A = this chain, B = another copy of it.
Amino acid sequence: MARPGGPVTIRQVALHAGVSRQTVSNVLNAPHRVDPATRRRVRASVEALGYRPNRNARNLAARRAGLIGYHVPITDTPSSFMDRFLHLLTAEVEDSGRHVLLFTGTTEIDAYADLVAQRAVDGFVLANTVEEDPRHRWLADHDVPFVSFGRTGNGEQPGPWVDLDGAAACHRLVDRLHDLGRSRIAFVGGRGRTVQNLERLRGWKAGCTAFDLPADRLVLAEDDTVEAGGAAMRDLLDSEVIPDAVIAVSDPLAVGVHREVRRQGLRPGTDVAVTGFDDSPLASVVDGGLTSVRQPVERFARTVVDLLESTNSTTTSAGRGSTTSANSDRGVLLPGGIISRGSAPIRLTEQDLNEWESR
């Protein structure tokens, strides 16, 4: 079954079409330089022989890798959200003619250094950013193209990034819950000092302040689990005036809150509204459904790849890497969309919907 004589090379195509190897190469990479008639003839030969250029050879000569590195964390608590992002990223990268290369390694920067030294990748997509993230600086200093999915807390974050506007999302949640007549809106945040956590907290506070609501019902959960959410809710129920709404920064936490609400004989969505984040599979397991903030993941993936493409301005030997190259360190902030379900029967405004649709 396998094609006899092994894979077809560019020389065979050249022979078949009666031209030189370089002409074939030109037809593939710079068609405008080739006479239309020859072009057609070569294309026919390519077709007839089923020629596909050898990636390694092409990349070696062109000093590319055709690959984008992505670090997958080996963790006990995988995030379905990040995995979805990876799926979509794979598709987007593929559309740009390259592929995603996966790697692990606990000392992530070493892994980066290694891949770069081996010329194994053209660039990286960074995920799971934390507040003090050394990766961005390192990559920028070494003139390695990259795009960050998520912001760091570093004042001047090097390199382009894409992120959810978590503050705006939380602000809006407060807004809509206020529309429903809720006035004691609590917040269950994450303990980790990630930008994400800080931003969402900020948005909640801002929202409360905007409506003259007290912003004192605040618990930071130990970790991102259903149990921790339950524990957080018990804390909140300890006070004399219990909240009539709870914004949790994740679906697991929200599910925990939800469960605790029921355990106390209260009705979620009626007595206490509960909202989560990410619209994960978990959101459909609670009775009545969980209201959650959905992130525009497809858009994230697309934007990341777009930004990566436009980072190709780095001339190899020219720039001394002194000023971290001039690739205008752009940042893109995208809005989240509220998915309203039983746990918090929010009525979305026209504007909410438009913003989400136009994302």
Interface residues, chain A, CB within 8 Å of chain B? Answer: 1-2, 6-7, 50, 52-57, 59-60, 65-67, 72-75, 77-78, 80, 83-84, 86-88, 90-91, 94, 99-105, 114, 117-120, 141-143, 225-227, 252, 255, 259, 281-282, 284-287, 316-317, 321
Contact = CB atoms under 8 A, between A and B. Distances in A.
A74 B55 contact: no
A7 B316 contact: no
Given A59-B56, A94-B103, A1 B83 contact: no
A259 B262 CA distance: 14
B83 A120 contact: no
A67 B121 CA distance: 12
Q: Which 8 A-B pairs have the closest CB atoms?
A: A52-B117, A1-B141, A83-B83, A56-B60, A100-B102, A90-B102, A55-B118, A55-B120
B53 A118 contact: yes
A59 B54 CA distance: 11
Contact of A50 (B57, B83, B117): B117
B80 A119 contact: no
A282 B286 CA distance: 11
A7 B72 CA distance: 26
A225 to B, nearest CB: 7
Contacts of A72: 86-87, 90
A114 B52 contact: yes
Given A80-B78, A87-B72, A321 B2 contact: yes
12 contacts: A6-B316, A7-B117, A50-B117, A52-B114, A52-B117, A55-B118, A55-B120, A83-B83, A94-B105, A99-B101, A226-B284, A282-B285
Nearest to A95: B104
A252 B227 contact: no
Nearest to A67: B101
Contacts of A94: 103-105
Given A54-B119, A80-B80, A90-B102, 4 more contacts: A52-B118, A53-B118, A73-B87, A94-B103
Contacts of A120: 55, 66, 99
A120 B91 CA distance: 17
A337 B158 CA distance: 47
Contacts of A83: 78, 80, 83
B90 A99 contact: no
A78 B88 CA distance: 11
A57 B55 contact: no
B54 A118 contact: yes
Contacts of A143: 1-2
